[in-house]
Amino acid sequence: MREGNGVSIAEKVLAGNRYALSRVLTFIENDAPEGREALKALFPYTGRAHLVGVTGAPGTGKSSLVNRLAYYYRHPPEGEPKRVAIVAVDPSSPFTGGAILGDRIRMRDLSGDRGVFIRSMASRGALGGLSRTTAGVVQALDAAGFDMIFIETVGAGQAEVDIARLAHTTLVVEAPGLGDDVQAIKAGILEIADVLVVNKADRPGANATVRALTEMLKLAHPSQETIMHHGRRMVLSSSVAQKHEGHLWIPPVVQTVAIDNQGIDNLAAAIARHRVYLEETGEWQIRDRVRLQSELENMLREALMRRWREGVTAEIYRQVMEDVFARRMAPADAVAILLNGVLA
Amino acid sequence: MTERRIRVLIAKPGLDGHDRGAKVVARALRDAGMEVIYTGLRQTPEMIAEAALQEDVDVVGLSILSGAHMALVPRVLELLRENGQEHVRIFVGGIIPDEDVPRLKAMGVYAVYGPGTLTDDIVRDIRKAVLGTIDQA
């Protein structure tokens, strides 16, 4: 069971073998040949799951929210329960490469349920809030038949926006007291939100946070609005509103208290509405294509790096680096030389 | 570009609520370059085996201070075997009477650590158990 080539293990994954799935995820994460083989075999079965990204600053309650959401989809008020997978990414140490992966601590409500699969990943040096192999891991879970896949990023600051390229629906989780209203108009993480969540909404300052986010959204999506500015009436309108012939998605602001299970039904409803929006506007397909394209480009980049490394001897590399260190050669010239693989 | 990392599950089965030791060990393993999945307090053997399966770990470290090790450890071992994870190495730490140590080892526990153990020794033992060598990361 431990060994086995990628194709046969992929067959076991498709047959519902959980340990085979777990092994495949490890192979993918380690960029092992079995992982690449398995992904090739699994690829035709991907593209069915709803991928939901969950990002936000550390300590806003992402893991607790994912725990409650997953539980909700496993015990829905109506309809069939959905199969749920969770990929939780935590940071690797930049110095030792080690990591503490602690997201499962908040997910104990889900244990014992075979319709749930939780996998922790270390970021392994990647900076965008995910790991380099998270997309592959998500593909394997998609092929394994999970209906909803939650991807929880590293506790992100302002620029860790890779998740928006991977997910269909991105939740950005905020908590009261984390910043003033200027934070809300900065570029970056808030721009990628499909749904904004104010968690810990029972804390003081929650209303101010909701207000700041709502104001930010009005500025970003002023479909047509009259405002008073220095005593003058001004009409704002935006071209954004015309996109998708009137189907405009304005990210809702949803308040939750994850530890008390409050607001989870509203959040699930917002996720469901976003899915309908994606499907009705064709955005679902667009995002799918964008994701596949960016995955392909990443693989291409790595393949080119591998091929290039094969053509450059360690000796040439060392010599060029020495010249750069001694400031005899500019980095741009070094690149030109290394690309050709020979010293001038 | 294969990148292999030792993955360790640190779990606290049973009812004692003291996880200082577990956290110290988790931190030491992290500093040794391992990926440590920490599950928190009051885990049942079923929860531990399930986490070991989903996380595909090489090592499970059980921290037990309650005295219930002779009931909890065999159950975890049995569940791991049922899941096809008989290759996973089990380490036990905590308050374990001397006379129980050989019995735990006979069941298949790789090593048992009491108070005062140097974390460097645990790191060395885990590397040896997983990689068969002590000098590789």
Q: What's the ipTM?
A: 0.91
Q: Give CA A276 to chain center in angstroms.
A: 20
Query: In CATH, which of 3.90.1150.110, 3.40.50.300, 1.10.8.100, 2.60.40.420 is domain A46-302?
Result: 3.40.50.300
Residue B67: pLDDT over 50: yes
Residue A117: pLDDT over 80: yes
CA A41/CA A9 separation, integer angstroms: 10
Chain B within 8 Å of A125 (Cβ-Cβ)?
no
Task: Check residue A330 and report its DSSP letter.
Answer: -
- Average pLDDT estimate for A233-257: 68
Question: Phi and psi dihedrals of A340, rounded to 5?
Answer: -85, -20
Residue A3: pLDDT over 70: no
Residue B5: pLDDT over 70: yes
| Chain B positions in Cβ-Cβ contact with residue A122 (cut-off 8 Å) | 5, 35
pLDDT of residue B136: 43
CA A183/CA A186 separation, integer angstroms: 5
Report if residue B136 sits inside a domain.
no
pLDDT of residue A321: 93
Distance from CA of B98 to the nearest CA of A (A): 31
B31/A105 CB distance under 8 A: no
Q: Indicate the pLDDT class of residue B1, thresholds 50, 70 and 90.
A: very low
Distance from CA of A176 to the nearest CA of B (A): 26
- Average pLDDT estimate for B77-101: 94
Cα–Cα nearest to A99, from B49, B110, B125, B10:
B10
Distance from CA of A22 to the nearest CA of B (A): 6
Q: For chain B, what is the radius of gyration of the CA atoms?
A: 14
pLDDT of residue A230: 66
pLDDT tens for residues A138-196? 999 999 999 999 999 988 765 567 888 899 999 999 888 776 555 655 656 778 899 99
Identify the closest residue of chain A to B4 by CA–CA distance. A30
If you average pLDDT over every residue of chain A, what do you get?
86
pLDDT tens for residues A309-327? 888 888 888 999 999 999 9
Chain B within 8 Å of A207 (Cβ-Cβ)?
no
The domain total for chain B is 1
B39/A105 CB distance under 8 A: yes
- What pTM was computed for the model? 0.88
Q: Measured between CB atoms, which of B1, B34, B56 is closest to A25?
A: B56
Least confident of A8-12, A215-219, B36-40: A215-219
Identify the closest residue of chain B to A98 by CA–CA distance. B33
pLDDT of residue A2: 46
Distance from CA of A65 to the nearest CA of B (A): 17
Test the A interface: residue of B3, B34, B126 with most A CBs within 10 Å: B3
Test the A interface: residue of B50, B57, B87, B88 with most A CBs within 10 Å: B50
Q: Find the chain B residues whose C-beta atoms sit closer than 8 A to any C-beta of A.
A: 1-5, 7, 26-27, 29-40, 43-44, 46-47, 50-51, 53-56, 83-85, 87, 137
Identify the closest residue of chain B to A24 by CA–CA distance. B56
| Domain extent for B115 | 7-129
Residue A226: pLDDT over 70: no
Residue A259: pLDDT over 70: yes
pLDDT of residue A183: 62
CA A146/CA A228 separation, integer angstroms: 50
Higher pLDDT, A24 or A226: A24
CATH code, domain with B117: 3.40.50.280
Chain B within 8 Å of A302 (Cβ-Cβ)?
yes
pLDDT tens for residues A57-80? 888 899 999 999 999 999 999 999
Chain B within 8 Å of A224 (Cβ-Cβ)?
no
SS3 B2: coil
Chain B within 8 Å of A94 (Cβ-Cβ)?
no
Report if residue B135 sits inside a domain.
no
Percent of chain A residues topping a pLDDT of 90: 54
pLDDT of residue A214: 85
CA A220/CA B66 separation, integer angstroms: 57
Report if residue B2 sits inside a domain.
no
A22/B56 CB distance under 8 A: yes
If you average pLDDT over every residue of chain B, what do you get?
90
Q: In B1-136, where does DSSP find H-type helix?
A: 20-31, 45-55, 69-82, 100-107, 119-131
Q: Which of A12-26, A83-97, A158-172, A286-300 ranks highest by mean pLDDT? A: A12-26
CA A139/CA B86 separation, integer angstroms: 28
Q: Indicate the pLDDT class of residue B137, thresholds 50, 70 and 90.
A: very low
pLDDT of residue A24: 96
pLDDT of residue B26: 94
Residue A236: pLDDT over 60: no
| Chain B positions in Cβ-Cβ contact with residue A1 (cut-off 8 Å) | 84
Chain B within 8 Å of A27 (Cβ-Cβ)?
no
Q: Indicate the pLDDT class of residue A343, thresholds 50, 70 and 90.
A: low
Q: Are A254 and A267 in contact (CB under 8 A)?
A: yes
A99/B36 CB distance under 8 A: yes
